[in-house]
Amino acid sequence: MSSPPPGRTRRVDLVRLREKLPANVADALRRYERHLALERDLSPHTVRAYLGDVVALLGHIAGDSPERADIGAVDLASLRAWLAAQRNAGASRTTMARRAAAARTFTAWAVREGLLAQDPGPRLAAPRPHRTLPSVLRADQASEAMAAVSSGATEGDPVALRDQAVVELLYATGVRVAELCGLDLDDVDYSLRVIRVLGKGGRERTIPFGIPAERALRRWLDEGRKDLVTPYSPAALFLGARGGRIDQRAVRRLVHEVVAVVPDAPDIGPHGLRHSAATHLLEGGADLRTVQELLGHATLATTQLYTHVTVERLKAIHDRTHPRS
């Protein structure tokens, strides 16, 4: 029998640890969870990660006696010791940076709630995460991927029509997979050819899409969706095979399968299509601020990562083609 993956093992351990915490700490964590979900409007995944980090922090401080855990014991020394333990256990720079951010968010909240006298969070230094260059499709590879998914829809199978519309819209708009799966029918404005999405932090934005995506969407809605809809189907733009809202895992699997048929293309998922869309926009002359708005990045620094991608691609072309490179 194979052992469970490390991520699942850690989640199980954190659940057990949380169950052993004293009642007053458990109550504080429930209030903190509501704060993250309702006041900060963070995604369920982020709430779960931040809460798990705080539970791990309190468990580290309490040692072998989690039933004696005390939020008041959180100070700069204990935060540094916790991060040092993460580093010694082999945690990546990205993971440590996330956990430090979770700790700072928690200590700031704890001070406001009167659970800590002083906030040690601002003095907690953590390594910056590595900013790796994302894998992207070339423009010709993206065209081949769109052609591949289009050929699958020629016979009018409803799932194939949906898949074509999904892939076309992902590449046309650069939306996140969660944003795409959350789209409803009335989020599409065909007169302006735009979609309205609800992004991270509850921020809404409007994104244009092109004629190929419009054609794929209209065909899916006119010919395909009616064959998947049931009396219990939501008003979702994209439906799964059983009539419910399409699942993110199904979209990820679809994109991997489509890209796999393109010769020499990197193995990418929906986020890779998002990277590709941003890169092709910049290569086509779009400015950073426009791309930032389209992608829904909170800061321009995140969008600037794509400028490195385009520079690396230009250097590669130069090295390959210039006689004195």
Residue 315 is among the residues annotated as catalytic for this protein: no
**Torsion, Cα of 208, 211, 214, 219 (10° steps):** -170
H-state helical runs in the chain: 6-20, 23-34, 44-62, 76-88, 93-112, 139-151, 158-173, 177-181, 211-219, 225-228, 248-260, 270-283, 288-295, 300-321
Residue 324 is among the residues annotated as catalytic for this protein: no
Residue 267: burial class (beta carbons within 10 Å; 0-12, 13-18, 19+): exposed
Across the strands, what pairs with 153?
A: none
Q: What is the DSSP string of 16-49?
A: HHHHHS-HHHHHHHHHHHHIIIIIS---HHHHHH
Catalytic residue of the set 104, 225, 280, 297: 297
CB environment 140-151: b (16+ within 10 A), e (fewer): ebbebbbebbbe
Catalytic residue of the set 162, 176, 275, 280: 176
Residues 6+ apart with CB under 8 A from 258: 145, 148, 149, 163, 167
Residue 226 is among the residues annotated as catalytic for this protein: no
Catalytic residue of the set 138, 200, 205, 215: 200
Query: What's CA 245's distance to the chain center, in Å?
Result: 18
Residue 200 is among the residues annotated as catalytic for this protein: yes
Catalytic residue of the set 32, 50, 171, 306: 306
Catalytic residue of the set 104, 274, 275, 280: 274
**CA 262 to CA 293: how far, in whole Å?**
30
Residue 176 is among the residues annotated as catalytic for this protein: yes
Q: Which of 219, 128, 203 is nearest to 169 (CA)?
A: 219
Residue 297 is among the residues annotated as catalytic for this protein: yes
**CA 26 to CA 59: how far, in whole Å?**
12
Catalytic residue of the set 138, 252, 271, 313: 271
Catalytic residues: 176, 200, 271, 274, 297, 306
